[in-house]
Amino acid sequence: MARLITAARPAPRRPLVGLALSWTAGLGAAYLWPAIPAGVALASAALCGAAALVLRPRPVAWLAHGAVLLTALTHGLVAQPGRRADDIARWLQGSSRYFDLVLRVSSAPARQRGDETNPGGWRWRGVVEAVRTSDTEWRSAWGHIEVWMADVTGQPDPAYGDRWRIGAVVRRGEDGRLRLFARGPAERLRRNGGSPLVAWCYRQRDRARDALRRGIEDWTGPAEIIPAMMLGYREEVPDELRERFLRTGTAHVFAISGLHVGMFSVVLAAALRTVGVPRRWWGAALIPLLALYTVATGGSVSALRAFAIAAVWWLSPVVRRRPDLPTALAAAALLILAIAPSQIAEPGFWYSFIVVAGLAALTPPIESAVLAAMGWTEVEPPRDVASLWHTVGRTAGRGLLRLVAASLAAWIASSPLTAYTGHQISPAALPGNLLVIPVSFLIVLTGCISLVAGLASEWLAVTLNHANAAICAGLVRGVDAIFALPGSHFAVLAPPLWATGLMYGAIAGLLLFEGRVRLTLLIAAAVVATAGLVRYVADDHARIVLAPPDLAPAILLDAPGERDDWLISPGPAWRAERLVRWLRSCGVDRLDAMVIPVLDANHAGAAPAVLARIPTRRILVPAGRVQSRIVGRLLDDWRRQNRRLVTLAEADEGTLPGAIVWDVWHPPRHAPSARSADGGLWLRIARGRVAILLAGPATPAQVDSIERVPFDPVATVVLIERQGTPADHAWRRLLGAKTLIEHARDREPMRTPPASLWLPPP
pLDDT tens sequence across 93-142? 666 788 889 999 988 888 877 655 456 788 888 999 888 887 778 888 88
Cis status of the peptide bond prior to 431, with omega within 30 of 0: no
Q: Tell me what pLDDT residue 596 has.
A: 92
> Exposed (0-12), middle (13-18) or buried (19+): which is 45, by Cβ within 10 Å?
middle
Residue 501 backbone phi and psi in degrees, to 5:
-60, -40
Q: Tell me what pLDDT residue 5 has.
A: 40
Do 126 and 145 contact (CB within 8 A), yes or no?
yes
131 and 17 within one domain: no
324 and 258 within one domain: yes
CB neighbours of 605 closer than 8 A, spacing ≥ 6?
Answer: 117, 118, 570, 571, 572, 573, 574, 576, 630
Residues 546, 551: Cα–Cα separation, whole Å: 9
Residues 412, 422: Cα–Cα separation, whole Å: 15
Reported in sequence order, the residue ranges of 173-229 that DSSP labels E, i.e. its strands, are 178-182, 187-190
218 and 151 within one domain: no
510 and 475 within one domain: no
Domain CATH code at residue 644: 3.60.15.10
Q: For residue 285, give the nearest of 264, 260, 306, 259 by alpha carbon.
A: 264
682 and 553 within one domain: yes
Domain CATH code at residue 145: 2.40.50.140
CB neighbours of 678 closer than 8 A, spacing ≥ 6?
Answer: 624, 667, 697, 699, 701, 702
Residue 692 domain-assigned (yes or no): yes
Looking at per-residue pLDDT, the higher value among 31 and 600 belongs to 600
300 and 232 within one domain: yes
229 and 140 within one domain: no
pLDDT category of residue 617 using cuts at 50, 70 and 90: very high
User: What is the overall mean pLDDT for the chain?
Assistant: 78
697 and 586 within one domain: yes
Q: Is the dihedral of CA 608, 610, 614, 616 positive or negative?
A: negative
548 and 454 within one domain: no
Q: Tell me what pLDDT residue 53 has.
A: 55
Looking at per-residue pLDDT, the higher value among 123 and 539 belongs to 123
Residue 61 has pLDDT above 70, yes or no: no
Which pTM does this prediction carry?
0.76
Residues 597, 603: Cα–Cα separation, whole Å: 7
What total number of domains does the chain contain? 5
Residues 89, 69: Cα–Cα separation, whole Å: 27
688 and 627 within one domain: yes
321 and 303 within one domain: yes
Residue 338 domain-assigned (yes or no): yes
Residue 30 domain-assigned (yes or no): yes
Residues 89, 170: Cα–Cα separation, whole Å: 10
Looking at per-residue pLDDT, the higher value among 82 and 323 belongs to 323
Residue 749 has pLDDT above 50, yes or no: no
**Overall residue count recorded for the chain in this entry:** 762
Among the three residues 79, 97, 112, which one is the final residue of a domain in this structure?
79
Residue 441 domain-assigned (yes or no): yes
Residue 212 has pLDDT above 60, yes or no: yes
Do 325 and 310 contact (CB within 8 A), yes or no?
no
Residue 410 domain-assigned (yes or no): no
Residue 3 has pLDDT above 50, yes or no: no
Residue 401 domain-assigned (yes or no): no
Q: For residue 569, give the nearest of 689, 719, 427 by alpha carbon.
A: 719
Residue 145 domain-assigned (yes or no): yes
Residue 376 domain-assigned (yes or no): no
Q: Is the dihedral of CA 91, 98, 139, 186 positive or negative?
A: positive
Among the three residues 24, 46, 79, which one is the final residue of a domain in this structure?
79
Angle at 315 between CA 310 and CA 318, to 5 degrees: 155
DSSP state of 186: -
CB neighbours of 254 closer than 8 A, spacing ≥ 6?
Answer: 225, 228, 229, 234, 237, 242, 245
Do 759 and 689 contact (CB within 8 A), yes or no?
no
Percent of the chain with pLDDT over 90: 7
Give the three-state DSSP class for 542.
strand
pLDDT tens-place string over residues 389-404:
666 666 777 778 888 8
Q: Tell me what pLDDT residue 343 has.
A: 80
Residue 642 backbone phi and psi in degrees, to 5:
60, 30
Residue 49 has pLDDT above 70, yes or no: no
For 237, the domain range is 203-361+417-491
Q: Tell me what pLDDT residue 6 has.
A: 40
501 and 473 within one domain: no
